[in-house]
A and B are shown apart, each in its own frame.
Chain A
Amino acid sequence: MTAQVIAGGDARATLRRNFRRGVWRVLRRKPSRMVGVVILGVFTFMGVFGPMLYPERLPRDDNALYAAPSWAHPFGTDFEGTDVLALVITGARYVLLTALVTAVITVALGTAVGLFAGFRRGRWDAVLMRITDMKLTIPALPLLLVLSTVWKFTSAIEMGLVLGLLGWGGVARAVRAQTLSLRERGFVEAARGLGLSTRHIIGRELLPSMAPFIAMNTLIAVTGAVYAQVGLFFLGVLPFDANNWGVMLNLAVFGGGALTTTTALPYMLAPLLAILLLTLGIVLVVDAMDEIFNPRLREE
């Protein structure tokens, strides 16, 4: 028994080692994937340590309102003379934390509902999918606009919670479809025939097969959450925070006239560039993940 456990433990360690090597190989195969990892690493660093790099109250310069880009201010300054790059970096935490919370809730809830409905079928499936359909028919943006009049979303977790609760429907539908397909496969039939528990079948047989799909959805949910929250802040329906990327876009366009003159253009471009880079990083990493989890795509 002890020998079997040791042997099982060794096998898992070998699997993990092989997986890590596989990941490294996949990343190295295309330099763009490494670029994606680096971008996400930079954003993660900004989210975790960004606010620590600057004083609590960012310095202002009354004589440099909407200053042009320079070495001191690579993206110029805002309407108060505050460095725009500092605003983008310190504002990353709210954006990324919201996106992370949204992604976790979207994927956890969507996967749980989809798996349960697809595996149990019958009444549970019918009830859960009707709830999912109802949820999918609710337009998220108008609902968020209405919610914003009564709820100020002052914390990133609140914002992420709401976005997550509004975004799980699509994942649930897709996971259910995958589950319905997988549950008829031979390996699941075999597991059932061996008398393995439902928990084992779902946790050990079905979930790993859907891991790539879930992982990719997590990252895509991150981009969706970034767009949604930045959009809401841009529309001006959420609380003012000078370093929020959406607020920066709003003030650059409506307060600084960034679409009319070049004066406030860097102020608008900085958060846009941040969103673009973050999306690019996610897309490149998703490309790598697809290959990592899908053996048919591997070239060796």
Chain B
Amino acid sequence: MKRLVAAAVSLCFAAVTAACGGGADGADSSASVGSAVFTTIDALKPGIDANAPINPYNPKGNTFRGYNAEWLGWTKNHLTDPDRFYPGVAKSWQIAPDRSSITIRLHPDGKWSDGRPITAEDVKFSIGLAYTQGGTAYALDPSAAGTASNIKIVDDKTIKITQTAENPSSAFVRGVMETVIVPKHVWGSVLPADFWERLKVAQSDAPGAEAARAGITSLAEKVIAFAPAQDVSAGPFVLKRVNPGEALLVKNRYFHNAANVAADQVRILNYTGNEQVWNYLVAGRLDSAPFTAVPAGVMRRIVQTQGNAVVRGYSPVSEALAFNQSRRPYDNVHVRRALAYLIDREQVTKVASPEGGTASVTTSGLHQEAAKAWLGDGFAALEPYRTDPARAERELRAAGMKKKDGRWTMPDGSPWKMTINVPASFSDWLAGAKAVTSQLNDAGIEAEVITSADYPLYLEEMAAGKYDLGFWLVALGPAPYNIYQRLYGAQNGWQLFGGKLTHVAPGTKGNWMGGAETVDLAGEGRINLGELTVKLNSAPEAEQKKIVSTLARAANQDLPVIQLWDYVNTQVVNTTRFSGFPGDDSDALRLTSGVWLQLGMVKRK
């Protein structure tokens, strides 16, 4: 009987090992007992879906950036230059001085995890897939800025991509380098054989262009739904299995830098809320965790765990209180300035984001670190809007507001009730908004926080112009166009279609900020802020600096938003099992730990 049990156990074990062993071709079979397992979470994939396809275009897809989803290059976290990269599928690249083209050379020994070589054909095919999804460098509209207009395979490992000459964009290079590369021999059936002919028609003004564009766009769903039978990865890891608790990836032995990849396996743990990440960190389970909003008390507990260390770096994001200037009294710049003088940003940051933020020095539309680099001495010349109740009172009086029984009212004596909207799911925004309303209530302005059930609903209602004020992310760099597009873009009325910029009326086409089309700026006269922002797309660096300076002064003077805090990229690493993590202010900090591993930065202990 005992033997029977033993035999049954042996058979079961064999069956289980056989089942587990059926991984991808390039999976490193040496990964077993004693192998180095790197554990992390993917900030881009909260809520792993075990049934999702292995597809980087699918929002829930089981591909993980830097691990088994590979870009041409990995963007460095630079203050001002968006065109600096670490190598990805590309080994090197040459950018034309006017950014009109980029020539990419692939790793000569680059291979897919099934052993086949990665070729320029794969890159071209992946660009074709990217066209179905749209994006900065891959717009179908012939007049869109920064679109790749010519893709030329120079040789098996070299490809040259040229952007449209009519409407160039400084974001083109980054758009190309951030292209995810998939194997043509796996995905080939997704694009029709005549795709490139169709694309040519779609990017022209020829008859049938509209139909061709519609045809390509209609492929998007097919691309998103495509489910390869197994993972064929260009990255350092291959997906072995995934369940609702975690995704397990094993080393891709064909990866060009496999010898320097310190981990044999990577476990990407599932999470649906920040508190799960905190618990993982407290338990010391994660070797690295990307930025997560962490309360001060929890951070104190996290760093007590053996091996845990905090790394901080630049994060090109700021939190701001944005006005709907089509609503009274926020159409009056004096009211906006008064609020800026009343809000104590240090206190708000202390309450809302003590670990992941630093109080904004002033409002310029730029993160303070980037502002120093872009503006130099000009940054110090901006009005800092330090807390000054007396000045706030003068501004409110200048706006015609009245004070009755200690409470401020509208100029006609009617009540002024300020409502700040935030999504309920963002606890730091909620705490920040509450801190702002508490301060304003103390100053005699009746203010309250209103929450939206979730972030998509929040954005939808905000775009519909339903809010007076709301929290809004700004300073999304490093590209200056992206930074100022948050203030003087579509949500403030400027619509860029077919290379033509128009300004739409407040409350229409997503214009919820409702700012004026032109403003008077001291020393500059009347300027169109949206036009200047669009110019950032194509202007050379010296001119970009001038434009950024103008826009920063305009944002500081006109206050379409009040910047509250600038985010700090606070991450946690555990040095018990691995070392060599990027240090404070490293330009790799905004990249996933998969990139650190593939570059050979992280070492096994």
Contact = CB atoms under 8 A, between A and B. Distances in A.
Contact of B450 (A239, A242, A253): A239
B275 A240 contact: no
Given A236-B451, A251-B431, A257 B295 contact: yes
Interface of A: 57, 60, 62, 65-66, 79-80, 145, 148-149, 152, 236-240, 242, 250-251, 253-257, 259-264
28 contacts: A57-B441, A57-B442, A65-B296, A66-B295, A66-B296, A145-B453, A148-B453, A149-B453, A236-B425, A238-B451, A239-B450, A239-B451, A240-B424, A240-B430, A240-B433, A240-B434, A240-B450, A250-B424, A254-B275, A254-B427, A255-B431, A256-B297, A257-B301, A260-B282, A260-B298, A261-B282, A262-B297, A264-B295
B297 A237 contact: no
Interface in B270-292: 273-275, 278-279, 282
For B282, B298, B441, the residue with the greatest tally of chain A CB atoms inside 10 Å of its CB is B298
A65 B438 contact: no
B350 interface: yes
Contacts of B424: 236-237, 240, 250
Nearest to B277: A260
Given A80-B434, A255-B430, A264 B297 contact: yes
Interface residues of B, number: 34
For A62, A149, A254, A264, the residue with the greatest tally of chain B CB atoms inside 10 Å of its CB is A254
A257 B297 contact: yes
B28 interface: no
8 closest A-B pairs by beta carbon, nearest first, are A263-B297, A236-B424, A255-B427, A257-B298, A261-B301, A237-B453, A240-B451, A240-B449
B31 interface: no
B37 interface: no
Contacts of A149: 453, 457
Nearest to B294: A257
A253 B279 CA distance: 12
B276 to A, nearest CB: 10
Interface string B287-318: 00000001111101100000000000000000
B178 to A, nearest CB: 32
B351 interface: yes
A46 B282 CA distance: 39
A236 B457 CA distance: 13
B428 interface: yes
Nearest to B442: A57
Nearest to B281: A260
A152 B297 contact: no
B292 to A, nearest CB: 11
For B282, B297, B433, B441, the residue with the greatest tally of chain A CB atoms inside 10 Å of its CB is B297
A141 to B, nearest CB: 13
Given A62-B350, A236-B453, A260 B430 contact: no
Contacts of A261: 282, 297-298, 300-301
B347 interface: yes
Contacts of A148: 453
B249 interface: no
A80 B435 contact: yes
Interface in B390-436: 422, 424-425, 427-428, 430-431, 433-435
Given A80-B434, A240-B449, A251-B430, A66 B297 contact: yes
A242 to B, nearest CB: 6
A80 B351 contact: yes
Contact of B434 (A66, A242, A256, A257): A242
Contacts of A239: 450-451
Nearest to A149: B453
Contacts of A250: 424
Given A237-B424, A261-B297, A263-B295, A79 B431 contact: yes
Nearest to B301: A261
Given A80-B434, A260-B275, A255 B428 contact: yes
Contacts of A236: 424-425, 451, 453
A122 B449 CA distance: 52
Interface in B438-489: 438, 441-442, 449-451, 453, 457
Nearest to B433: A240
Contact of B278 (A60, A80, A237, A257): A257
Contact of B274 (A62, A80, A254): A254
